Amino acid sequence: MEDKFRIKSYGYGELAQLYFPNISKKSASAQLRRWIKSSDMVLPMLQSFGYKPGNRLLTPAHVKVIVDEFGEP
């Protein structure tokens, strides 16, 4: 049985690999970055919680914004 996804702190690459498990961490991170940039809502919401592009750690608030927009990985 698979573990249920939890909203918690994740490394950026760690979360990216949950969304894109079949590609390298670097490629997964780049793809997640493209998703974030392509959404009109996600980046401003992340920034309202203190996110800056290049952050390596995503807080639970950041993860919730991403999951609310893109669904659970």
Task: Write out the two tokens for 27.
Answer: 């490629």
CA–CA dist 71, 62 (Å, integer): 13
Long-range residue pairs from 28-34, CB within 8 A, at least 24 positions apart, any chain = 32/66
The tens digit of pLDDT for each residue in 12-71 reads: 999 999 999 999 999 999 999 999 999 999 999 999 999 998 899 999 999 999 999 999
What pLDDT is stored for residue 1 in this prediction?
45
